[in-house]
Amino acid sequence: MNELSASSRITYRAVMVRPGVARRIRGLSDRTLAWLFITPTIVLLLAINIFPLLWTIYLSFTNYRANRANVPTIWLGADWYQSILTDPDIWAAMQVTAHFVIWTVVIETVLGFGLAYLIDKKFRGHGMWTTIILLPMMLSPAVVGNFWTFLYQPQIGLFNYVVAFFTGRAASSFQMLGDVTLSPWAIVIVDTWMWTPYVMLICLAGLRSIPDYIYEAAEVDRASKWRQFWSITLPMALPFIMLAVLFRGIENFKMFDMVNLLTGGGPGSTTEVASITLKRAAFESWRTGYSSAFAIILFVTVFGLANIYVKALNKVKSR
Amino acid sequence: MTSATTAHSVVEPSATTRRFAGSLVVLYAIITMIPLVWIMLTAFKSPDDAISYPPKVMFKPSLEGFCNLFTTRSRQTPEFIRSLGSPQGLCDSIARSRNMVVAGPSNYVPRFVNSLIIAFGSTVLAVALGTLSAYGFSRFRVPLKDDLLFFILSTRMMPPIAVAIPIYLMYRTIGLSDTRLGMILLYTSVNVSLAVWLLKGFIDEIPREYEEAAMIDGYTRFQAFVKVVLPQATTGIAATAIFCLIFAWNEYAFAVLLTSGNAQTAPPFIPIIIGEGGQDWPAVAAGTTLFLVPIVVFTVLLRKHLLRGITFGAVRK
């Protein structure tokens, strides 16, 4: 590959004594270099991601159990897939996951876009306050989940105290993590606290990509602020909002660490999102074949979403 | 609309709008900071203050949380404690005031060191591999380039628990379970996808003319890469490295499933810090605080590149 501009190619010819030989060596080395540079990454990913994935696919058709490696492995065909797709427990986990994903994405998008819209007004000190708002999303979800269990303590927790202060109920009268109806919302609250800044940051980039002259033209045409928002701001920021929604959707669909530490799936299985069901099947009941099949089903779903995500990425990139 | 607001620009928000927007954002920022500040305050509370009701905002600072974080203690009779000499150091005297003696160091420091080694090791590897690949994808015509790039990104989208099942079996077979090397390789494979995508964006922005000029001056392609492209990409490489570092530092799912002792990092360790009769909240808060402070510093350093990092280099602002 040789993309020298016309003028530099002339200089190049003038400087090099034997251009033919030089070009051949360099042409060869470019190609070799490209492969030398790219191969290590591909090899690593093949070894640590693709080979295990193929292994999982194989295991998902067998009765293998990781804690009983000596039992002869029997080929079961698609039995696990059939039993998973008809298992009411799995569908219950999927419903819990859907509740979690839908509510977090909706609340984070509304709050995040709202914040971005306000920050875009460029008040004094908006840079510093933006950085402060961004902090939670950089923290470890596991550590965040763990310290929120402290805030959610029924008697001594700050969260309960604040809610009690504003509603007049007793702080010990409700348990965010131990209550069947409240705990699905407890995990939504923590995820919202942590990831609203993410949506905000991407929406802010969307709002800043809208050129001023469009608003100026709208002012000249006497479009109301309300009309400007619905006809300019929202449509033009939409690809960015979509990007944030998709990414949050994918990430929360596979959510594990934060929920595992907050509730561990409980009480009962009211907050048992798909990843926790998978962990229980794979690492607590050691049903390796079964959990491999479930892992493949989850992976195919995420892969489909990721495909859409990359298309959205490229769309935003071409702006 | 009055003439005063339209005087300079029609699209500039008015002073009132700005003040209103500003106060709402500041309000949100303060609310969002309360949980973090609360945890950092709890780290300096005594166990009684930490679990008092109503929660205490004003309290007498204590280092007991940090002492409990770094030491293990055993309960002794007052007679035995009196028979010992004078207490050695602050933690010993705090422990003795609770009828205990310091029995030895806790596991927090080794876990913290594991976190450091694994995070830095995987970051160096991921950034090195990522820089090479990003340059390859940026400058050369690679067959199936888009498919390869999608493949690289898609490996990051896999649910961690789904990946952990076969990795667990594989590491058990080849003897990498609960080793730092195993965790470094695993985190590298997750981070390399981010590194390739981010760095490709940064390298795309460096004009090709620089390398071409260097090659006309007699550099080989490799020399041009080392001496021209790398220095130009320093900022991008640094930003990418910090992102990889933060991911590896924060990771929990793989760590909790694949390590149990030797290679265990801090995130799976902090939640299991317990004292007598349940969780020792000041010690947990102290461990959390020490663990989070580096991230806060890095976030402030990174703020200009955050957007790129979280969108795999697609949105550049």
Nearest to B140 among A34, A205, A212 (CB): A34
From chain A, pick out residues whose CB is under 8 angstroms from the CB of B299. Answer: 131, 134-135, 138
Asked if B251 and B265 count as a contact pair (C-beta separation under 8 A), the reply is yes
Q: Residue B269 is which amino acid?
A: F
Q: Say which residue, A315 or B130, is predicted with more confidence.
A: B130
Greater confidence (B3 vs B10) lies with B10
Find all residues with CB under 8 Å of B173, minimum gap 6, and list them: none
Q: Give the pLDDT of residue B48.
A: 82
Which candidate, A66, A44, A40, A68, places its Cα nearest to that of A55? A66
Q: Which pLDDT value is given to residue B277?
A: 66
Predicted pLDDT of residue A199: 94
Question: What local confidence, expressed as pLDDT, does residue B218 receive?
Answer: 86
CA distance B10 to chain A (A): 6
Whether residues A135 and B17 touch (CB distance < 8 A) is answered with no
Distance from CA of A86 to the nearest CA of B (A): 20
B162 and A278 within 8 Å at the Cβ level: the answer is: yes
pLDDT in tens, A134-161: 999 989 999 999 999 999 988 788 998 8
Instruction: Using CB atoms, pick whichever of B38, B257, B310 lies closest to residue A283.
Output: B257
Interface ipTM? 0.86
Model pLDDT, residue B131:
95
Question: Does the CB of A30 have a partner CB in chain B at under 8 Å?
Answer: yes
Which tokens is B199 given? Answer: 């760095």
Q: Look at residue A248 in the predicted model and tell me its pLDDT.
A: 92
CA-wise closest residue to A157 among A171, A169, A141: A171
Tokens linked to A184: 């699905």
Tell me the β-bridge partners of A62: A75
Report the pLDDT value the prediction gives residue A23, as an integer from 0 to 100.
52
Give the A window 179-208 contacts with B, CB below 8 Å: 193, 197-198, 201-202, 205, 208
**Looking at chain B, which runs of residues are DSSP E strands?**
71-75, 100-105, 274-275, 278-279
- B100 strand-pairing partners: B75
Residue B35 has pLDDT above 80, yes or no: yes
* Closest by Cα among B107, B35, B114, B42 to B71: B107
Supply B109's token pair: 């420091």
Percent residues over pLDDT 90 in chain B: 38
Q: Are B126 and B192 in contact (CB under 8 A)?
A: yes
Question: Which band of pLDDT confidence, cut at 50, 70 and 90, is reported for residue B9?
Answer: low
Residue B61: pLDDT band by 50, 70, 90 thresholds?
confident
User: Does the pLDDT value for residue B24 go beyond 90?
Assistant: yes
The residue assigned the tokens 């260097």 is B214
Show which of residues 41-80 on chain A sit within 8 Å of chain B, judged by CB atoms.
Answer: 41-42, 44-45, 47-53, 55-56, 59, 66
Q: How confident is the model at residue A313, as a pLDDT?
A: 77
Chain B residues whose CB is inside 8 A of the A138 CB are: 246, 295-296, 298-299
> In this complex, which of B29, B148, B157 lies closest to A250 when CB atoms are compared?
B157
Contact between A263 and A187 under an 8 Å Cβ cutoff? The reply is: yes
CA distances from B302 to A20, A134, A138, B185, B204 (A): 47, 11, 11, 25, 20
SS3 content of chain A, % helix, strand, coil (to 5): 75, 0, 25
- Residue of B8, B25, B149 to mutate when probing chain A, most A C-beta within 10 A: B25
Write down the number of H helices and E strands in chain A.
15, 0
The Cα of B231 is separated from the nearest Cα of chain A by a number of Å equal to: 18
pLDDT tier at B271, thresholds 50, 70, 90: confident
Tell me: the pLDDT tens digits for B214-259? 988 888 888 888 889 999 999 899 989 999 999 999 999 999 999 9
Whether the CB-CB separation of B118 and B248 falls below 8 Å is answered with yes
Q: How far apart are the first and last CA of chain B?
A: 32
pLDDT in tens, A267-299: 888 899 999 999 998 888 888 889 999 999 998
Across chain A, mean pLDDT equals: 85
Contact state of A243 with B185 under an 8 Å Cβ cutoff: no
Task: Report d(CA A238, CA A203) in Å as an integer.
Answer: 8
> Cα–chain-centroid distance for residue B166?
26
* pLDDT at position B119 over 80: yes
Cβ within 8 Å, pair B21-A119: yes
Residue of A nearest to B294 (CA): A139
Partner-chain residue, chosen from B28, B38, B158, that has the shortest CB–CB distance to A49: B158
Q: Compute the distance between CA of residue B292 and CA of residue B310 in angstroms, rounded to an integer.
A: 19
Q: What is the average pLDDT across B294-316? A: 83
B213–chain A nearest CA distance, Å: 8
- Tell me the chain B residues in contact with residue A132 when contact means C-beta distances shorter than 8 Å: 29, 32-33
B295 Cβ contact list (under 8 Å, min separation 6)? A138, A139, A140, B246, B249, B250
Q: How confident is the model at residue B272 (pLDDT cuts 50, 70, 90)?
A: confident
Higher pLDDT, B7 or A140: A140
Amino acid at site A34: A
Say how far residue A191 (Cα) sits from the centre of its chain: 12
> Do residue A216 and residue B10 have CB atoms under 8 angstroms apart?
yes
Mean pLDDT per 10-residue run, chain A (319 residues)? Answer: 48 48 55 87 91 89 82 81 88 92 96 94 87 91 91 87 87 85 93 94 90 90 90 90 89 92 87 91 88 90 84 74
pLDDT at residue A4, as a whole number: 46
For residue B5, pLDDT over 70 is answered with no
pLDDT band at B41 (very low <50, low <70, confident <90, very high): very high
Contacts of B206-213 spanning 24+ positions with Cβ under 8 A: B206/B232, B206/B233, B208/A3, B208/B139, B209/A5, B209/A8, B211/B139, B212/A4, B212/A5, B212/A8, B213/A8
Residues in chain A: 319
Burial class (CB in 10 A: 0-12, 13-18, 19+), B43: buried
What pLDDT sits at residue B78?
83
